[in-house]
């Protein structure tokens, strides 16, 4: 039934295009699109920082910052996102994280001649600054983009100065991705966790594998991390520290015994957005200033 409705929706739009009634992209006085949809929390944060937050009409579920973005209509999350939900909002432009939408949805949006731009999600501060430049260029505000990047550089310099003063080479941490007590993963190499730990002067405890793998009691104990790091939402999904203690293997770690468990808002920690230097400094201080 859903496919029939979608086909009818697309057909009506095609007829509209053929009769010359397709809406053209309207630009504001400064040359920027009036109605923007973003898919990807880092893109949303940067667009807002560039001064175009009031033109964002809808976002995805990862767009949690700034807080007012959470009040906007949500197009969903990754493979749950449907083309008709986006098209029904009549955006002028859609800004999407690469690989975030399914190929089917992308094809349907392109069929409607919708203006879509794809951007790689940053995995380090240099890529963050590149994304800022790319978006600033798109919105024709390169100077604003450079100011954002200058602020990122200042944050990173503060982080560097702090780490030079508070050197602790032996600190290790493990990032646990939790979605309830039955769904737990540990972050390995080539993850945001490895990068943010490196920036904060912390060694990744999980070695020998890439991306995320299911968490086992044996692996956690063998890693013996000094700190356990989670998203706020992940810790919440377990029922807080008490629920975390019930996870097999956690009580046996040095981190839990010493009450060295940290949690951060998910996008803040993993987004690699304009606040990347700030969260890295906060993490660095958290493990050095107990």
In a domain, 228, yes or no: yes
Query: Where is the domain boundary, 140, 158, 183?
Result: 140
- Judge contact between 83 and 62, C-beta under 8 A: no
pLDDT of the residue at 252: 93
pLDDT of the residue at 30: 53
Q: Which domain holds residue 212?
A: 168-286
**Do 208 and 278 belong to one domain?**
yes
Q: Which two tokens stand for residue 191?
A: 């993850």
pLDDT exceeds 60 at position 195: yes
Query: To the nearest whole number, what is the mean pLDDT of the chain?
Result: 90
The enclosing domain of 192 has a CATH number of 3.40.50.1980
**Do 180 and 122 belong to one domain?**
no
Note the pTM of the prediction, 2 decimals. Answer: 0.87
Query: Where is the domain boundary, 100, 120, 140?
Result: 140
**Tell me: the pLDDT tens digits for 17-39?**
333 333 333 444 555 558 999 99
pLDDT exceeds 70 at position 265: yes
Query: Where is the domain boundary, 140, 160, 178?
Result: 140
- The stretch 264-288 carries a mean pLDDT of 98
Query: Distance (Å, rounded) from C-alpha 31 to C-alpha 140?
Result: 7
In a domain, 152, yes or no: no
CA angle 148, 36, 110 (to 5 degrees): 120
Domain count, the chain: 2
**Do 216 and 130 belong to one domain?**
no
- Judge contact between 44 and 69, C-beta under 8 A: yes
pLDDT of the residue at 290: 74
- Judge contact between 173 and 227, C-beta under 8 A: yes
Query: Distance (Å, rounded) from C-alpha 1 to C-alpha 168?
Result: 60
**Do 125 and 228 belong to one domain?**
no
- The stretch 164-188 carries a mean pLDDT of 94
Contact residues for 268 (Cβ-Cβ < 8 A; gap 6+): 65, 275, 279
């Amino acid at each position: 039934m859903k496919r029939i409705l979608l086909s009818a929706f697309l057909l009506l739009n095609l007829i509209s295009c053929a009769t010359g009634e397709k809406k053209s992209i309207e630009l504001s006085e400064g040359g920027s699109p009036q109605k923007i949809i973003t898919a990807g929390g880092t893109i949303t944060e940067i667009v807002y920082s560039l001064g175009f937050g009031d033109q964002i009409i809808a976002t995805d579920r990862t767009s949690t910052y700034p807080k007012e973005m959470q009040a906007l209509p949500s197009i969903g999350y990754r493979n749950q996102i449907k083309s008709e939900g986006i098209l029904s909002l009549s955006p002028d432009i859609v800004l999407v994280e690469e690989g975030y939408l399914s190929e089917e949805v992308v094809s349907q949006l392109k069929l409607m001649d919708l203006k879509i731009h794809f951007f790689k999600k940053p995995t380090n501060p240099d890529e963050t600054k590149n994304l800022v430049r790319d978006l600033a260029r798109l919105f024709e505000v390169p100077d604003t983009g450079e100011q954002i990047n200058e602020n990122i550089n200042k944050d990173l310099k503060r982080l560097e100065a702090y780490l030079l003063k508070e050197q602790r080479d032996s600190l290790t941490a493990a990032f646990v991705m939790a979605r309830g007590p039955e769904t737990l993963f540990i972050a390995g190499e080539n993850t945001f966790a490895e990068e943010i730990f490196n920036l904060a002067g912390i060694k990744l405890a999980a070695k020998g594998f890439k991306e995320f793998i299911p968490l086992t009691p044996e692996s956690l104990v063998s890693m013996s991390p000094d700190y356990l790091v989670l998203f706020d939402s992940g810790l919440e999904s377990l029922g807080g520290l008490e629920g975390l203690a019930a996870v097999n293997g956690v009580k046996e770690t040095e981190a839990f015994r010493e009450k060295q468990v940290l949690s951060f808002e998910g996008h803040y920690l993993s987004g690699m957005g304009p606040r990347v230097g700030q969260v890295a400094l906060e993490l660095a201080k958290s493990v050095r200033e107990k």
